Amino acid sequence: MALDVAQIRDDFPILKRTVNGKPLVYLDNAATSQKPQQVIDCIVDYYSRYNANIHRGVHTLSQEATEAYESARKKVQAHFNIGHSHEVILTSGTTHGINLVASGFTSIMKQGDEILVSAMEHHSNIVPWQMLCERTGAQMKVIPMLEDGTLDMEAYQALLSQSTKLVFVNHISNALGTINPIAQMIDRAHEYGAAVLVDGAQACSHIKPDLRELDVDFYVTSAHKLCGPTGIGMLYGKEEWLKRLPPYQGGGEMIAEVTFEKTTYADLPHKFEAGTPNIAGGIAFGAALDYLNGIGFEAIAEYEAGLLEYATEELLKIPGLRIYGSSSERTSVISFNLEDIHPYDVGTILDKLGIAVRTGHHCAQPVMDFYRIPGTVRASFAFYNTREEVDKLVEGVKKAQMMLS
């Protein structure tokens, strides 16, 4: 099933705009994806037709809104093959989900416990755990990475012990595009009774993870990376874990009964959903999943693999260009530098040509330190990008090289 890119591009109004007088070439999809008209319409429709607060009204609008929001939760559940819909916590995004879990483990972790974090994590999957360690006296150990941008699995095995309580790893690295062997990592962690949280922020726009089969304990992601709006995301937690963790924030929606003496908490998932949520965002998250499933993840993966291969080949023809991360298991992310040229300069020239890439450390400073570089230029492709856009990138990089050296 080949994918009809021309038709798909028609769904994305932003792809028609120009930047600095040039047609936009959007290659910063790992930072956030663009939104199809279907998702935009869904948000407009909610605010135009049935905006109301959810879970509390007896009136029709409130019931319609509640149904739409809860049906989005069911779509998330089905998409990720999650056992129960109450194991789906709708959060404001990946960062929120990680902080919720890290905060919850404060009462579980003890002095001497260990947590393992991979060397290629996003800052949002490092800092909350450091804070947890400060609160509890637990110790954080780092699973090292190898030159090719993969995790050192032998070192991982050696780090696991009876003291290991938690393992955190991203499904796909945002800086390098490496797909980590999470199934294997989860199995090994479970042999030691350690729980695993997988940061799926980068993964879910490229692959459709089967969480039941993975047997992962926690999985987090952000809708904005997969054609949905910002400010909404998912935390999946196994029921037994979500029951054990204390609530994260107090407020409305998350209670069963409140007196000044004592509050009893609502059942899952509401226990973790204090306050009025991002209702439009939640509903549109569901619409985004419908949209992507309409195209099909197999078609997306196949198409993006073609783009990655073509872009890698073409970029490597440029003398002095180095790509970081060469794992055979990768998604369509290319992190590169030109010899003796700062990534910021390259990004500036590309922007002048209407090409949007990310430059810098990509919130993964430890990865940059590993390669001893200040940052990289990162081009990340989505299923709506084309080979012609790859050609424009390559031409742009050549032009930047000519101007900057």
Partner 1 sequence: MSIAELQEELIDEFALFDDWMEKYEHLIELGKSLPLIDPAFKTEEHIIKGCQSRVWLHATLDKEKVIFTADSDAIITKGIIAVLIRVFSGHSPEEIAEADTDFIDTIGLKEHLSPTRANGLVSMIKQMKLYALAFQAQQKN
Ligand X SMILES: Cc1ncc(COP(=O)(O)O)c(C=O)c1O
Nearest-approach distance from CB 362 to partner 1, in angstroms: 11
Which of 92, 123, 82 is CA-nearest to residue 218? 82
Q: Identify what 341 binds: partner 1, ligand X, none; CB under 5 to 8 Å per kind.
A: partner 1
Q: Please, what is the minimum distance in Å from the beta carbon of residue 6 to ligand X? A: 29
Residue 30 has which token pair? Answer: 């790992």
199 binds, among ligand X, partner 1, none (CB under 5 to 8 A by kind): ligand X
Q: Choose the one of ligand X, partner 1, none that binds residue 20, judging by a C-beta under 5 to 8 angstroms depending on kind.
A: partner 1
Least distance CB 396 / partner 1 (angstroms): 12
CB of 43 to partner 1, least distance (A): 24
Select 77 or 380, whichever has its Cβ closest to ligand X: 380
> What is the distance between the terminal CA atoms of the chain, rounded to a whole angstrom?
44
135 binds, among partner 1, ligand X, none (CB under 5 to 8 A by kind): none
Contact 169, 122 (CB under 8 A): no
* Closer by beta carbon to partner 1, 144 or else 374: 374
Structure tokens at 137: 């006296």
- 34's tokens: 């663009």
Contacts to ligand X by CB under 6 A: 93-95, 122, 124-125, 170, 174, 199, 201-202, 222
Contacts of 145 (CB under 8 A, 6+ apart): 118, 119, 120, 151, 152, 367, 370
Tell me if 23 contacts partner 1 by CB under 8 A.
Answer: no
Alpha helix (H) residue ranges in 127-206? 127-136, 153-159, 182-191
Listed ranges 152-160, 172-180, 351-359, 381-389: which one lies at the site for partner 1 (CB under 8 A): 351-359
CB of 175 to ligand X, least distance (A): 8
Angle between helix 387-404 and 343-352 (nearest 10): 120
**Residue in 70, 314, 345, 391 binding partner 1, rule: CB under 8 A:** 345
Known active-site residue 42: no
Q: Are the C-beta atoms of residues 276 and 253 closer than 8 Å to each other? A: yes
Q: For residue 372, with 0-12 CB atoms within 10 Å meaning exposed, 13-18 middle and 19 or more buried, which class applies?
A: exposed
Among 359, 376, 385, 401, binds partner 1 (CB under 8 A): 359
Q: Is residue 325 a contact residue for partner 1 (CB under 8 A)? A: no
> Helix count (H) and strand count (E) of the chain?
14, 17
Minimum distance of ligand X from residue 176's CB (angstroms): 11
Considering the rule CB under 8 A, would residue 396 count as an interface residue with partner 1? no
**Judged by CB under 8 A, does residue 342 bind partner 1?**
yes
Q: Which helix (H) or strand (E) holds 333?
A: strand 333-338
Asked if residue 296 binds partner 1 (CB under 8 A), the reply is no
Tokens at 117, concatenated? 């974090």
List contacts with partner 1 (CB under 8 A).
20, 341-345, 348-349, 351-352, 359-360, 374-375, 403-404
Q: Active-site residue numbers? A: 363
